[in-house]
């Protein structure tokens, strides 16, 4: 079912009551994680990821959709000349902080409660899709990539910056061993996901792809890939 838009000016969202203690605990951690998110990433942003974001996001154009916008760390890097900027974020606690950042920065944007696997946009209606540290978190990244392909216009671009499974057997081993605890800590993030291979097999054409390192962050999330993938003219969305 398609998700409904959330006003960036609303400042709050209703959160349904939990039926179990585990659900309540998960909700409490989701709210705590949203508060801790920016401070946790601060050193990594200063150590180079902020520059990677900037280099990538200045290439966005036209109608731009960002997946999993979180607290809005990307906002300052978008050009004011975009036709439209639409931010999707399925986590209520993150959306609240995103709405506050939009108000502080007086940025015009729509905020939608939507997951990457079910984007509320018409076929071939978007020029640019942004995914920064998102494809590690969605439950079905192959479905999300097909949704991205569906909504992109021919010639439209996916701009991505993701942490990925390491090419080092030793580090990949530790990513596998720590995948469960990290996923619980980081609200669903899979530190061992081979996202580069998923993008390559999505049917989008890889225009460029670069390896990088997420300095000042835990080793299991340091291997990064950034790049651009394009929807070819006449590509099927089936």
Q: Is the pLDDT of residue 179 over 60?
A: yes
Over range 55-82, report the average pLDDT: 97
Give the 3-state secondary structure of residue 38. helix
Residue 64's pLDDT band, with cuts at 50, 70 and 90, is very high
Q: Are 33 and 93 in contact (CB under 8 A)?
A: yes
Residue 85's pLDDT band, with cuts at 50, 70 and 90, is very high
Residue 234's pLDDT band, with cuts at 50, 70 and 90, is confident
Q: Are 220 and 193 in contact (CB under 8 A)?
A: no
pLDDT digits over 99-119, tens only? 999 999 988 899 999 999 999
Nearest to 123 by CA among 231, 237, 204, 235: 237
How far apart, in Å, are the Cα atoms of 51 and each of 76, 77, 107, 171, 225?
12, 10, 21, 25, 14
pLDDT at residue 187, rounded to an integer:
95
Sheet holding 152-163, edge to edge: 5-6, 110-112, 84-88, 63-67, 126-132, 152-163, 223-230, 205-213
Q: Is the pLDDT of residue 139 over 60?
A: yes
Half-sphere CA count of 222, side-chain side, radius 13 A: 14
pLDDT at residue 22, rounded to an integer:
47
pLDDT digits over 211-221, tens only? 999 999 999 99
Half-sphere CA count of 170, side-chain side, radius 13 A: 1
What is the rounded average pLDDT for all residues in the chain? 90
Is pTM beyond 0.85? Reply is yes
Task: Provide the b/e sequence for 198-220 (b: ≥16 CB within 10 Å).
Answer: bbeebbbeeeeeeebebeebbeb
**216 phi and psi angles, rounded to 5 deg:** 70, 15
Nearest to 161 by CA among 210, 203, 124: 210
How far apart, in Å, are the Cα atoms of 171 and each of 34, 132, 178?
28, 22, 10
Nearest to 101 by CA among 5, 8, 7: 8
Cα 77 from Cα 25, distance rounded (Å):
35
Domains in the chain (CATH in brackets) are 40-230 (3.40.50.150)
């Amino acid at each position: 079912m398609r998700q409904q838009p959330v006003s960036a000016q609303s400042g709050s969202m209703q959160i349904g009551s939990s039926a179990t203690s585990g659900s309540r605990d998960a909700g409490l951690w989701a709210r705590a994680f949203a508060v801790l998110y920016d401070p946790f990433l601060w050193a990594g942003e200063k150590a180079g990821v902020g520059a990677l974001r900037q280099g990538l996001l200045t290439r966005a154009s036209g109608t731009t959709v960002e997946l999993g916008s979180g607290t809005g760390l990307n906002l300052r890097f978008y050009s004011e000349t975009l036709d439209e900027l639409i931010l999707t974020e399925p986590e209520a606690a993150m959306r609240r902080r995103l709405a506050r950042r939009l108000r502080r920065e007086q940025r015009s944007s729509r905020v939608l409660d939507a997951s990457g696997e079910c984007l509320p946009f018409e076929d071939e209606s978007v020029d640019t899709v942004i995914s920064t540290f998102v494809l590690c978190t969605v439950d079905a990244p192959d479905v999300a990539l097909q949704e991205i392909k569906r909504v992109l216009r021919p010639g439209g671009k996916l701009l991505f910056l993701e942490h990925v499974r390491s090419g080092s057997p030793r580090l990949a081993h530790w990513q596998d061993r720590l995948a469960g605890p990290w996923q619980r800590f980081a609200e669903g993030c899979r530190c061992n996901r081979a996202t580069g291979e998923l993008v390559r097999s999505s049917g989008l054409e890889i225009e460029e792809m670069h390896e990088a390192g997420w300095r000042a962050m835990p080793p299991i999330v340091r291997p990064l890939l950034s790049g651009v993938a394009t929807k070819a003219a006449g590509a099927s969305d089936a």
